[in-house]
Chain A
Amino acid sequence: MTDSNDKTPKRSADGKTLSARVKEEVARDPFEGVDFPELELSLYRPRTFFSIVLSVLVTSMTLVALVPLFAVLWMLLWRGGQKLSLALFTSLPPAPLEQGGGFGNAVIGTLIMVGIATLITVPLGILTGLFLSQAPKDNKLAAAVRLSAKVLTGFPSILAGVFAYGAIVLTTGGYSAIAGGIALSILMLPTIILTSESAVAMVPARMKEASIGIGATGAQTVWMVLLPTAMPGILTGIMLAVARAAGETAPLLFTALFSNYWLASHGRLNLMQPTASLAVLIFNFAGTPFKNQVELAWAAALVLVVLVLIINLIGRSFSKQQIEQ
């Protein structure tokens, strides 16, 4: 600090007063000695040229990657759309060389098996997710459950089929919709567990504390506060899992097999018989040399993709609700 009573102006080492130095500083061109052309963005400089080349490269690589992705959808609409009609949903798959036909039983079979899988996994998955979100951080059981759920996420779908074949088909003595549903449920379970866990964990802690604070028991808190609040997130998880299960083929190949007939005969639904599904129908018909069957496979693929994408979009709209909440 300068002493205000000091009459003589302060001098710096080179003998100039402070005000003189400031004047000099202000008068000096601050950009003196700066080479402006050097700073400009120029294509002739290797650094910027390299940067732009890489930008172009990445953009074109993204475009190349997007072409096949959208070509799949385009071909589906084009080749599947030609054959699409309402009759497809009401008739049975054709025999070789037979014309016409449809995949009504496969649509129903897919819905029933995904339904069975959903019935199994929803209670199991939500309660497990609830346990994970409420367990203390150092809980060993929770850590083990989380690990096994993560491992199940990457479990190859064909092995779910192998398991259901060994555990259900061999013991019950035949291919069935139940075995197919159980195989699918193994693939749905980890998604539901992990999404319910994060959905419940996202419920503000104050809501839970408020509920316990006014005397609710743990179960009451879960049913009246946690689950209703986390419901959009949980529904997203369920929908994503359902969408994945609906498109799975490998677990159904040798658990539900395929069938050319309706599931219900003489007004009775029999779940213990081989069952058709859209995915297996596509696989079977794609391998046949008959034009009619191949066209049906394309139409079935279109129906399957539309089904899967719609379920997926519904699920995503739930998660949007949660964010808005």
Chain B
Amino acid sequence: MASTSDITRAREEVTAWHPGQIWHPPSTAQKWTDRIFRQLCVVFAASTIALSALLVLEIGVKAIPAFREYGLGFLYRATWDPNKAKYGILPEIWGTLYTSLLALLIGTLFGVAAAIFLSEGYLGEFVFRVLKIFNLNFHPFWGKLPIRVEAVLKNLIELLAAVPSVVYGLWGLFIVIPLIRPFCNWLHSQFGWFPFFSTDLSGPGILPAVLVLSIMILPTITAISRDALVAVPSKLRMAAYGLGATRWETILGVLLPTASRGIFGGIVLAFGRALGETMALAMLVGNANRLTLSLFSPANTLAALLANSFPEAGAKEIPVLMYAALVLLAITLVVNLFGALVLERAAVSAEAK
């Protein structure tokens, strides 16, 4: 329903635009502008679809020569030798999945923990208790501090998602690797028989890449999980407390199961981000065409392969790289569609409540 003030406001705005013309029916020019504008919107919208199709087509068509030559064997061969024109990306596929899954494991553990920390109001509670000591907890200014501190922390974590990945790569290269190297080499010397520690860390390798990658995806997981936890209707929480459940019985028994779809969608999206992440991995993973379980060995991922090989690629190598790009596209597309679907269904079920 349009209220009188809205009509007045709309009329003011329209008269400011076309003084004196408001009582005319739309002129032919106005009708045509309207028609053209509507069509323009449709055309632009359709061009978004065209663009997505073009992206896939462009990469797909350029990959055809390589697909003809190497076929599906490209996916399970392990050599990459431009001199003999022998190509296979099994180590890269393995490296992509291995680093992403490990990073996802660490990122999920800490990300969901941070989401619970933020949504449960631990920090606010702590600040409130500190204020209570000084008897300021209901002070008009200081009393608002708990809420403010929580909002600041939440925004800070979201801001950290905006830090460019190349900066994380730089940090990993000069800070993380020197920091973890002595510990990793000690692990190797003591437990070298264990497949995960079977090589020493001589510089870039899987573990530093995984650590930095998990730090990069953590803000994504935390932000989405926190939103999902906050969206749980408070009556569920109250009902659980009313039945005598402790805080953690409520979290584990009520909040997490209810928010699980949203959290899961966030994890899948973070997985998609980890799979497609390029720069941090190109700087940290070591770019060695190696199929390995060892956490300290250098390896390679699809995105890092593209980033490192494309600038120097010859005309013969480009179709091969396009083929590798197509594989990466297929993997991320499946993961992202799945994630978007899960989040959409989570939103629908949240509305239904």
Query: Is B13 touching A225 in the complex (CB atoms < 8 A)?
Result: yes
Assembly CA distance A141 to B49 (angstroms): 9
Q: Is there a chain A Cβ closer than 8 Å to B181's Cβ?
A: no
CA distance A305 to B199 in the complex (A): 35
Summarize B's interface: helix, strand, loop or mixed. Answer: helix
Tell me if A206 and B249 are in contact (CB < 8 A).
no
Instruction: Find residues 55-105 in chain B having any chain A CB closer than 8 Å to their own CB.
Output: 55, 58-59, 62
Q: Does B30 contact A (CB under 8 A)?
A: yes
Contact, CB under 8 Å: B41 / A130: yes
Q: Are B310 and A165 in contact (CB under 8 A)?
A: yes
Cα–Cα distance between A148 and B278 once the two chains are bound (Å): 22
B30/A217 in contact, CB under 8 A: yes
* Known contacts A71-B175, A149-B48, A222-B37; A156 and B275 CB within 8 A of each other: yes
In the complex, whether A85 has a CB less than 8 A from a CB of chain B is no
Q: Which residues of the partner chain B approach A214 to less than 8 Å between Cβ atoms?
A: 7, 10-11, 14, 22
Does B303 contact A158, Cβ atoms closer than 8 Å?
A: yes
Q: Is B292 part of the binding interface, using a Cβ–Cβ cutoff of 8 Å?
A: no
| A162 within 8 A of partner (CB) | yes
User: How far apart sit A165 and B55, CA to CA, in the bound complex (Å)?
Assistant: 11
Closest chain B residue to A312, Cβ basis = B162
The answer to whether A156 and B278 touch across the interface, beta carbons within 8 angstroms, is yes
| Contact residues in B for A167 (Cβ distance below 8 Å) | 54, 58
For residue B42, CB closer than 8 A to chain A, the reply is yes
Q: State which of B137-145, B187-195, B227-235, B327-335 sits at the interface with chain A.
A: B327-335
Name the CB-closest residue of B to A283: B166
Whether the pair A47, B165 counts as a contact (CB closer than 8 A) is: no
The answer for the CA separation of A21 and B258 in the assembled complex, in Å, is: 46
Residue in B42, B332, B336 whose CB lies within 8 Å of A131: B42
Q: How far is the CB of B234 from chain A (nearest CB, A)?
A: 19
Q: Give B118 Cβ to nearest chain A Cβ, in Å.
A: 8
Question: Which residues of chain B in 29-44 are interfacial with respect to chain A, using CB atoms and an 8 Å cutoff?
Answer: 30-31, 33-34, 37-38, 40-42, 44
Which chain A residues lie closer than 8 Å to B155 at the CB level?
316
Question: Which residues of B128-176 are within 8 A (CB) of A?
Answer: 155, 157, 159-160, 162-171, 173-175
Interface string of B250-291 (1 = CB under 8 A from A): 010000000000000000010011011111001100000000
A196-218 vs B, CB cutoff 8 Å, 1 = contact: the mask equals 00000000001101110111111
A230 interfacial by beta-carbon distance below 8 Å: no
Contact with B along A147-190 (1 / 0, CB 8 A): 11111111111111111011100000000000000000010010
B113: interface (CB < 8 Å): yes
User: How far is it, in angstroms, between the C-alpha of A57 and the C-alpha of B118 when the chains are bound?
Assistant: 14
Query: Closest B-chain residue to A165, C-beta based?
Result: B310
Contact size range, A: 35 or more
Task: List the B side residues contacting A130 at CB < 8 Å.
Answer: 41
Whole-angstrom distance between the Cβ of A254 and the nearest chain B Cβ: 4
Report if A51 contacts B (CB, 8 A): yes
Instruction: Tell me, rounded to whole Å, the shortest Cβ–Cβ distance linking B16 to chain A.
Output: 8
Q: Are B278 and A128 in contact (CB under 8 A)?
A: no
CB-CB < 8 A to B10: which residues of A? Answer: 207, 210-211, 213-214, 216, 224-225
When the two chains form their complex, are residues A253 and B168 in contact, meaning their CB atoms are under 8 A apart? no
Name B328's contact: one of A68, A159, A312 (CB within 8 Å): A159
The smallest beta-carbon distance between B265 and chain A, in angstroms, is 12
User: Across the interface, do A127 and B41 meet the contact criterion of CB distance under 8 Å?
Assistant: yes
Q: Does A82 contact B (CB under 8 A)?
A: no
Judging by beta carbons under 8 Å apart, are A158 and B166 in contact? no
Complex interface: chain B residues within 8 A of A193 (CB): 48
A216 to B113, CA, bound (A): 52
By the criterion CB–CB under 8 Å, are A249 and B113 in contact?
no
What would 10 A/B residue contacts be, using CB atoms closer than 8 Å? A72-B167, A72-B215, A76-B171, A213-B10, A215-B22, A215-B25, A217-B26, A250-B307, A253-B307, A304-B167
Chain A residues within 8 Å of B, Cβ to Cβ: 47-48, 50-51, 54-55, 57-59, 61-62, 64-66, 68-69, 71-73, 75-76, 79, 123-124, 127-128, 130-132, 134, 141-142, 144-145, 147-163, 165-167, 186, 189, 193, 206-207, 209-211, 213-220, 222, 224-225, 228, 240, 243-244, 246-250, 253-254, 257, 279, 282-283, 286-287, 294, 297-298, 301, 304-305, 308-309, 312-313, 316
